[in-house]
Amino acid sequence: MQTNSAKALWIQVIRSAFFAFVGTGRLSPSPGAAGRADAGTKGAGKLMKDFIFKMPTRVIFGVGAAARLHEVCRSFGAKKVFVVSDKIIGATEEFKKLLAALEKNGMPFEVYTDTLPEPPAPTVDAAAAALKASGCDMVAAVGGGSPIDTAKAIAMLATNPGGIGEYLFGGSRTVENPPLPVVAIPTTAGSGSEVTGASVIEDVEKHVKLSVTHDSLIPRVAIVDPLMHRSMPGPVTAATGMDALTHAIEAYTSLNANPMSDALARQTIRLVGENIRAAFSNPADLEARGNMALASLLGAASFVNGGLGAVHGISQSMGGVAHVSHGVGNALLLPHVMERNCVGNLKKFADIAGLLGEKTEGLPLREAAELSVKAVRSLNRDLQIPPSLREVGVAREMFPAILKGTMAYRMLAINPCVLTERDVSAILEAAY
């Protein structure tokens, strides 16, 4: 895999965004622009959609790129780096080589691998205490979404008072001081946490997953190296890859979508459809690994700018109540939510079907749109995703708590269809 292929994909994304913006003539104004056509747009026959696009992370992509971590640390003037991972990644050859490269190039470091999946708040506070005691002035996250989210949270706590629980959604504190700089090296292809400003943490007292979200939490640099993905087991490849697909589908069909997020989402959907089966079936397929790593990155950039929807609302609530892994929860719920959302944007769901390889030419729009659900169900079968909520430990008695958390999800408002409690209950029953 050459970095030139990544550059070519970025060029394609930019071209897609340009033609989406100028070619359709059907872009509607954003909510903030409603009813305020000025003299320059009156009589023009259309309104361009207002949007702000954010992508502050510097991305270094390529095979072997992780060995450049010492260069990145020095570019920030770091004297000692706090390397955050987990026990599984910490035992891999790739991780050991990364540490050897730091040592060889004279970059002092301290390793911390006591992170947990779906990070609980007390674990994050313990990691923050270790960081403060280490004397490190930069944080490097090596792992999937959970170690990266932990790293972002503790980098913020290193410069801000209090514990992580006080900063979670609805908490008593807000981020005031810039965090320590974070460089993220993802080892899974799904969360896209390497380019987002959210850190998802479990509030163990309330049994709910919440986030601290702030632009300053966005990693300063992401090093995306397909070699770091080779040790990823098949089930993790499947779950994280479907997480990336969910990001893209929800961002693409969001009421907050814009031409740039659309271009990124479309490319993500295409890359996942073409590569996830190969990455799942043959972990050593470096081309498939690289394309999935890129899909994860692009998908995250799409949802940072376009938003998410009901799948994430239900899945995040379900994760706090039933401790279902985020990727598996998203994958399992995705076709059921798509089935309900299809009518909200038949054109875009028909596009999704085509991007996932379904033959839609000549079909009525609704039939083409419904093929997107078929395509996702086919992916889930091939990737051996559990087919029902009961198989991942969700009980019907948990539905009221899951429903309550879902209806409080802030991005439910930009789901392509307005969903009531009755709608969400029906989705849970269908998935059960």
| Per-residue pLDDT tens over the stretch 153-173 | 999 999 999 999 999 988 889
Residue 42 has pLDDT above 60, yes or no: no
Indicate the residue type of 193.
Answer: S
Residue-wise pLDDT for 315-336, tens only, equals 999 998 999 999 999 999 999 9
4 in any annotated domain: no
Q: Does one domain contain both 130 and 161?
A: yes
Tell me what percent of the residues of the chain surpass a pLDDT of 70. 89
pTM for the structure as a whole: 0.87
32 in any annotated domain: no
Q: Does one domain contain both 377 and 256?
A: yes
Tell me what percent of the residues of the chain surpass a pLDDT of 90. 82
Residue 313 has pLDDT above 70, yes or no: yes
Q: What is the secondary structure of 211-257 as a DSSP string?
A: EEE-GGGS-SEEEE-GGGGTT--HHHHHHHHHHHHHHHHHHHHSTT-
26 in any annotated domain: no
417 in any annotated domain: yes
6 in any annotated domain: no
48 in any annotated domain: no
- Give the pLDDT confidence score for residue 16 in this predicted structure: 52
- Give the pLDDT confidence score for residue 220 in this predicted structure: 97
53 in any annotated domain: no
- Give the pLDDT confidence score for residue 4 in this predicted structure: 52
CATH code of the domain containing 141: 3.40.50.1970
CA atoms within 13 A on the CB side of 163: 11
| Last residue in a domain, options 229, 253, 279 | 229
- The answer to whether residues 318 and 427 touch, using CB atoms and an 8 Å cutoff, is no
Indicate the residue type of 140.
Answer: A
Instruction: Give the model's confidence band at 369: pLDDT under 50 very low, under 70 low, under 90 confident, else very high.
Output: very high
Count of Cβ atoms closer than 10 Å to residue 381 Cβ: 10
Residue-wise pLDDT for 168-203, tens only, equals 988 889 999 999 999 999 999 999 999 999 999 988
151 in any annotated domain: yes
How many whole angstroms separate alpha carbon 369 and alpha carbon 172?
A: 44
Token pair in block for residue 106: 């004279």
Q: Does one domain contain both 62 and 161?
A: yes
N- to C-terminal Cα separation, the chain: 41
Q: Does one domain contain both 130 and 143?
A: yes
Q: Does one domain contain both 296 and 326?
A: yes
Residue 347 has pLDDT above 80, yes or no: yes
Q: Does one domain contain both 212 and 290?
A: no
Residue-wise pLDDT for 6-37, tens only, equals 555 555 554 554 444 333 333 333 333 333 23
Q: Does one domain contain both 392 and 244?
A: yes
Of 130, 74, 128, 127, the residue nearest 102 (C-alpha): 74
- Give the pLDDT confidence score for residue 7 in this predicted structure: 53
Specify the pairing of strand 182-186 against strand 221-224: parallel
Q: Does one domain contain both 243 and 309?
A: yes
Rg of the chain over all Cα atoms, to the nearest angstrom: 21
Of 82, 211, 73, the residue nearest 155 (C-alpha): 82
Q: Does one domain contain both 254 and 170?
A: no
How many whole angstroms separate alpha carbon 110 and alpha carbon 55?
A: 29
Q: Does one domain contain both 326 and 340?
A: yes
How many whole angstroms separate alpha carbon 28 and alpha carbon 126?
A: 47
Name the domain count of the chain: 2
How many whole angstroms separate alpha carbon 279 and alpha carbon 224?
A: 16
Token pair in block for residue 109: 């470091």
| Last residue in a domain, options 229, 260, 282 | 229
Instruction: Give the model's confidence band at 54: pLDDT under 50 very low, under 70 low, under 90 confident, else very high.
Output: confident
Q: Does one domain contain both 362 and 255?
A: yes
| Last residue in a domain, options 229, 263, 292 | 229
Token pair in block for residue 107: 């970059």
How many whole angstroms separate alpha carbon 75 and alpha carbon 73?
A: 5
Q: Does one domain contain both 75 and 216?
A: yes
CATH code of the domain containing 308: 1.20.1090.10
Residue 299 domain boundaries: 234-431
Specify the pairing of strand 138-143 against strand 182-186: parallel
